[in-house]
Amino acid sequence: MTRQVVLDTETTGLESSEGHRIIEVGAIELKDRRLTGRRFHRYLNPDREIDAAAIEVHGITNAMLADKPHFADIAAELLAFIEGAELLIHNAAFDAGFLNAELARARAQGCVLPVAAIEECCTIQDTLRLARTLHPGQKNSLDALCRRYSIDNSQRVVHGALLDAEILTDVYLAMTGGQMAMFGEEAAVTGAAIATAATTAEGLVCERGEPLVIMPSAEELAAHEACLETLDKKSGGRCLWRLLG
């Protein structure tokens, strides 16, 4: 079973090397590409002022965080949530850099943690790098990908770690969904029903050792060609059936 965790953070500023801190972390669990319902979401007290430019992005103020826990208070719980998973992060270097800086700070303060860096307990896939591979030369921000894949992000008036993790989950599944994403689950169910009907239909008897060959009808051939046409358009001319046919 493949376990993935879609993760995002919000911060006080752009550079962890300048002492900027994480103020929100949101994570969503997937197993075999399906939502499990498990989530991790915390707001954090950064013990420093939030840059005005950052507040314009995420709308989180110091007053909102005054009574929130510090990163060291939730570090062990976060590590337990992501342990053994593949982390999916958009622009992973940014979030991973901040997370590792926070882990280093917590350990320096005497917090006992099982790892010194998140890479020691999980793998990381940068969905921004994936998007650039799939769509070279195009805009691949989260908002741009939502437009490209017709994903509703109307609630994203400002950034938020959990909201962005939810949106990234939809984007990632759309980017990597193949035929399921193109035609939906109904098509997969219909295909399975057709296959079952073909193998159980009355009169289709296969002698032992002899393969049973069922020739497609003209309607089935036309439907197959229509599917190939859709695949070719969706993949930008990279449909393998066409390339190898």
One domain, residues 197 and 234:
no
Q: Output the pLDDT for position 183.
A: 46
One domain, residues 91 and 34:
yes
Mean pLDDT lowest among 11-15, 69-73, 215-219, 235-239: 235-239
Smallest Cα–Cα separation from 156: which of 33, 36, 26?
26
| Chain-centre distance for alpha carbon 118 | 17
Q: Output the pLDDT for position 184.
A: 46
What percent of the chain is predicted at pLDDT more than 70? 78
Smallest Cα–Cα separation from 34: which of 65, 3, 57, 61?
3
One domain, residues 48 and 165:
yes
One domain, residues 196 and 75:
no
pLDDT in tens, 129-177: 999 999 999 999 999 999 999 998 877 655 789 999 999 999 999 999 8
One domain, residues 141 and 189:
no
In order, the DSSP letters of 100-112 are HHHHHHHHHTT--
Mean pLDDT lowest among 41-45, 92-96, 98-102, 210-214: 210-214
One domain, residues 128 and 24:
yes
Q: How confident is the model at residue 114 (pLDDT cuts 50, 70, 90)?
A: very high
Give the separation between CA 44 and CA 69, rounded to whole angstroms.
5
One domain, residues 149 and 111:
yes
pLDDT in tens, 187-200: 433 343 433 444 44
For residue 48, pLDDT beyond 90: yes
One domain, residues 156 and 222:
no
Would you name the residues annotated as active-site residues?
159
Stated pTM of the model: 0.71
Could you list the residue range(s) of the whole structural domain that residue 202 is in? 179-214
Per-residue CA distances from 194 to 157, 188, 200 (Å)? 45, 10, 10
One domain, residues 223 and 170:
no
Q: Output the pLDDT for position 191.
A: 40
Give the domain CATH number at 115. Answer: 3.30.420.10
E strand spans, 142-244? none
Mean pLDDT lowest among 65-79, 98-112, 135-149, 193-207: 193-207
Q: Output the pLDDT for position 33.
A: 94
One domain, residues 164 and 126:
yes
Give the total number of structural domains in the chain.
3
Give the separation between CA 169 and CA 6, rounded to whole angstroms.
6
Q: Output the pLDDT for position 167.
A: 93
Q: Output the pLDDT for position 215.
A: 78
179 against 123, higher pLDDT: 123
For residue 202, pLDDT beyond 90: no
Per-residue CA distances from 8 to 40, 41, 79, 197 (Å)? 11, 10, 14, 45
One domain, residues 131 and 73:
yes
One domain, residues 198 and 119:
no
